[in-house]
Amino acid sequence: MTLKILLVGCGGMSKKWLEVAQEIDDVALVGFVDIRLEAAEERAREFGVEGAVVDTDLERALATAQPDIVFDCSIPEAHYPVTLAALAHGCHVLGEKPLADTLDHAREMVAAAQSAGKLYAVMQNRRYDRHLLRLKTLINAGKLGTLTTINSDFYIGAHFGGFRDVMPHVLLLDMAIHTLDVARYISNADPVSVYCKEWNPAGSWYARDASAIAIFEMSNGLVYTYRGSWCAEGLPTTWEADWRIIGTQGTATWDGADGLAAQIVLKADGFFSTVTDQEFPMVKARYPEGHAGVIHEFITCVQTGEVPQTICVDNIKSLAMVFAAIESAERGVPVDVVW
C-alpha cells in the first residue's frame, strides 16, 4: 500500500525532508500547503506528482488530498493547529522540533494523538548519529558502571541575523532541545528538577540572553549540566556539543563528531585507580543518520505498527526540560520538571 504524504510548511528545511521521502518505496507526495502560495507551488514543481494538491488552506488540502501522513515543517507556533487538524483527519504526523510552542499545547497534542490512535513523532535527528549510537551502546553495556554525572558544552558564535537576534531565550528555545534530548537518551533517565542561569555576555550581538548554564537532577540520581552560548567566538564545539559521561567504573567523552574516548577502572589499588582504555563497539544502525533516519523510521513504524523513538509521549519530556530551564532562569530558583 502506498502511503500518501501532505507537506505543511514549504520553507527551506522542507526540501531536505522531501528529498528523503522520495527515496522511500511505497510513498507518494500528494499535497503541498503553505501560507505563501508561491512557496507551495515551488515545492510542488520540484517534488510533486501529477495532480498534487497545492493550497494555502490546510483543512481544504486535507479533505482533498486525503493523506495518510502529514509532514509538519511549519514554524513552531503553527505546530499546534497543524497537528490537531491532521490528527482529526486521521493522519499520522511527523513534525519539526520543537514539539510545541508551549507545554500546555504539547500536552493537548499528545492527548490528541493517543485519542486518535495515530503516531505523532518529532524531528530529533541527533539521536541517529552513528557515533552517539556507539556511545549509548557502551553505556548500556554497563562498561562505565552506574552513571553519576553527565556534562555537555555547546559553544558556537552564530551570526544568524533576523528573528533570532531579538527572540527571548534564543539559546534555550531554539537550540538546547537537541542537546537536552541527547542527555535523556544516553542517561536512560527522565528530568526531575533544574536550576538555570541565563545572561547576555558583553559583546553579544543578540538583544536578549544568548548564554545559559543549567543543572538538572535526573530520575536515576544522576546530575546533568548543560553549558552553552550562541555568541562564543573562537574554538567552537560541534553542533552536537562536547560531552563527558562519568560512571562509578569509568569515564567516556565525545566531541560530537568522531572523537570518542573512554577509560574504565582495571584495579582500584592506590591514590589513583589503574585504568585502561576502553574500545567502543561497532554498531550496525538500522536507519540512516540525521533527518533521513527519523523519516525512514517513522515511515517504517506507520507500515509495521512499531513505535518511533522520537514519539511525542517521550519527546515531551525533553521539551519540558526546555520550559523548566526557562522558568528557572526567569524566577532565579530551582523548579521541578513536569510534563
Q: Residue 114: pLDDT above 80?
A: yes
Q: Which pLDDT score is estimated for 48?
A: 77
* For residues 318-328, average pLDDT: 98
Angle (CA) 173-174-175 rounded to 5° is 105
- When the pLDDT of each residue in the chain is averaged and rounded to a whole number, the result is 96
336, 305, 332, 114: which is closest to 216 by C-alpha? 336
DSSP 217-278: EETTS-EEEEEEESB--SS---TT-EEEEEETTEEEEE-SSS-EEEEEEEE--SSS-EEEE-
Neighbours of 252 (CB within 10 A): 24
Q: Place 163 in a pLDDT band, splitting at 50, 70 and 90.
A: confident
Q: Which pLDDT score is estimated for 20?
A: 96
pLDDT tens digits, 291-301: 999 999 999 99
Residue that is written with C-alpha cell 488530498 in the block = 65
Q: What is the pTM of this model?
A: 0.94
Neighbours of 86 (CB within 10 A): 28
List CB contacts of 315: < 8 A, sequence separation 6 or more.
99, 121, 122, 124, 181
Q: Which pLDDT score is estimated for 17?
A: 97
pLDDT tens digits, 205-232: 999 999 999 999 999 999 999 999 999 9
Q: Residue 130: pLDDT above 90?
A: yes
Q: Residue 177: pLDDT above 90?
A: yes
pLDDT tens digits, 92-102: 999 999 999 99
Q: Residue 5: pLDDT above 80?
A: yes
Q: Which pLDDT score is estimated for 50?
A: 83
pLDDT tens digits, 10-48: 999 999 999 999 999 999 999 999 999 999 999 999 997
- Of all residues in the chain, the percent with pLDDT exceeding 90 is 96
